[in-house]
Amino acid sequence: MKIVKTVLVAIALAIIAAPLPSEALISHAEAKRIWNKVAEPTALTALPFYIKDEKTPNAWVTNGESVTVTTGLLNILDTEAELYAVFAHEAGHVKLNHLHKSASRSAGLSIAAAVLGQLLGGNIAGTAVNVGANLVNSGWSREQEIEADDYSVELAVKMGEDPVGMYSAISKLAKINNTQPSGFNSHPPDDRRLTHIKNKILELKPHAKFPEN
């Protein structure tokens, strides 16, 4: 009998000591709750919310009709303020009508490239125009990213949330993505982006405290 009890105790201890399956730092239910905190004041509650099982940390809005976050992002961001900031950033793209502006801009640049290509003639001219169009389009995309960052910070302050979450979230993602300046990169280089976010936060909340990098 003692042997049986000893075996049972050993099994119980082994179960307790065994590592649990890895889970996201922020649960799916928590992610949905945090999205709702962003969606309600921005009138985006009708947008379907999805969590994609993918290692790459990311979040995005699709055609302004749905919002998606990856499990990879939930594994990196460990505070509500950080995920709130990311969701508010995506909401900003919708509320600031970035999708429509980007589509209109791309169409205009394509027409201009086609017309100038015919006027100038030759593949070189057409290629040069297309490269220039891509650079202009990329620059505007960076402006939209900054606008969405500002929207996120402003919404957090307005709703009584911690705006430093935006700075903290981008800091963590920067260590993984290591974004470098590029003419064809729609996101601003991380150092400049973080500086802008920090200045925006201090503008609205002068005594905000930032995490040490």
| Measured distance CA(126)–CA(117) in Å, rounded | 5
Give me the residue spans of the domains in the chain: 27-204
How high is the pLDDT of residue 119? 54
| Measured distance CA(199)–CA(191) in Å, rounded | 12
CB contact at 8 A, 145 and 162: no
| Interval 72-110: pLDDT, tens | 999 999 999 999 999 999 999 999 998 865 444 444 444
How high is the pLDDT of residue 38? 98
How high is the pLDDT of residue 112? 43
| Structure-token pair, residue 57 | 């940390």
How high is the pLDDT of residue 133? 43
CB contact at 8 A, 210 and 165: no
| Measured distance CA(188)–CA(179) in Å, rounded | 8
How high is the pLDDT of residue 140? 37
Please state, as a whole number, how many other Cβ atoms lie within 10 Å of the Cβ of residue 201. 22
How high is the pLDDT of residue 64? 82
How high is the pLDDT of residue 135? 40
How high is the pLDDT of residue 141? 78
Q: What is the mean pLDDT of the chain?
A: 77
| Structure-token pair, residue 202 | 């201090």
Query: Which positions of the chain have pLDDT values less than 50?
Result: 1-22, 102-116, 124-140, 179-185
How high is the pLDDT of residue 186? 52
Does the pTM of the predicted model rise above 0.85?
no
CATH fold label, 27-204: Zincin-like (3.30.2010)
How high is the pLDDT of residue 177? 72
How high is the pLDDT of residue 212? 81
